[in-house]
Chains A and B, each alone.
Chain A
Amino acid sequence: MYPHERSLVERLKDKPFTILGVNSDSSKRYKKAIEENNITWPSFWDGGRTGGPIATAWAVRGWPTIYIIDAKGVIRFKNTRGKAMDEAVDTLLKEMEGE
């Protein structure tokens, strides 16, 4: 998970793109994970539990859950991972460039 996300962030550092996390760990564990895995992107902290307010509002039942949202704020992909995640993001970037 982390190495792939790191490489995606690195590759698209000059593009209108971000990973935005919603983290369900305890604050201690979350801070440790950020340090150990060199996580450079921002995350909401959801209160230290899987039943936190954001995960509940988004009806998240399994972790990780991924939503890809375009520049206009529209949900475009769900649970797209690995290579498919890269392709989805590239598709949305191309859309933006074409407009």
Chain B
Amino acid sequence: MKAKKLLTMLIAAAGLAVAQPDTKNKIAGQISELIETQDAAVKKFMDEVRALPREKQREAYQKGYPQFDDTIEALYTIVEENPAEVATLKAISWISSHSRGKELKPEIFAALEKHHLDHSELSEVILSFYTAKGENTQAFLATVIEKSKAQDARGSALYIQATQIERDTAKTAQYKALVEKLNAEHANLEVRGRRVAAMMKATLEAKEKLAIGKSAPEIIGKDVDGKEMKLSDYNGKIVVLDFWGDW
């Protein structure tokens, strides 16, 4: 009797040991399926819109763009049921980048802080906060910068803090400080394959050169037929310099 009970326990334990990777794969599979289904719906829709005459595209686009709400809710459910599971980070990134600037639910930040603060993949999640500007997002970014042991996660948090205030003219000094810090501590941080710290610094320097009251830097270029043109050819005239495109 005792031996039989022990055997049962052993089998149960073995089953549990096997069940863990299974559960993990199942969660990852469920997340991938939800995302792929939604992405496929978007692709199908976009193909249909592009097949329309150009003047009808805009209306069709505004009217029929696939809604994300159901997919977001389904992903939230999976994430909330498995807060410690690394596979959910992909779902969190997707939710965030498809929520049109709305920040994540507070319990998601709590789960990220508790279970994934030092995980290297946290960096990707943070980069999905590009347009999310809520208080909880700000608090979470500050926590990551202060406490995370993952270098890229800290770098991404600084990068997102910076991009969110880049256009806010009241926060120019704060923005400059963040760009300096990124260059000092995260020069190798890559976002979509580009080293962003140096890029941001170059843009910042260019903007300072291009402020109202500064001399316009010379432009030497060509017209579409290859004829050379210079901005200084128009010295003595008021110039409306118009960066344009017919799109």
Hey, which bits of chain A sit against chain B, CB under 8 A?
Answer: 1, 5, 8, 15-25, 27, 29-33, 37, 42-46, 50, 53-55, 57-60, 63-78, 85, 89, 92-93, 96
Contact = CB atoms under 8 A, between A and B. Distances in A.
B242 interface: yes
Interface in B187-238: 203, 206-207, 210-217, 219, 221-224, 229, 231-232, 234-238
Given A45-B222, A53-B221, A69 B214 contact: no
Interface residues of B, number: 33
Contact of A22 (B242, B246, B247): B242
Contacts of B240: 5, 8, 17-20, 66-69, 85, 89
A22 B212 CA distance: 19
Given A42-B223, A44-B219, A63 B244 contact: yes
B241 interface: yes
Contacts of A76: 212-213
Contact of A65 (B217, B221, B243): B243
B214 A89 contact: no
Contacts, number: 145
Given A5-B240, A29-B246, A69-B231, 9 more contacts: A16-B237, A20-B242, A24-B243, A43-B224, A58-B217, A67-B240, A72-B235, A75-B210, A89-B238
Contact of B241 (A46, A59, A66, A93): A66
Residue from B214, B229, B234 whose CB has the most chain A CB atoms within 10 Å: B234
A50 B207 CA distance: 17
Given A24-B244, A63-B244, A45 B223 contact: yes
Nearest to A91: B238
Given A73-B216, A74-B213, A22 B238 contact: no
A23 B237 CA distance: 20
9 contacts: A20-B231, A21-B243, A33-B246, A43-B244, A44-B223, A54-B243, A63-B247, A74-B213, A75-B213
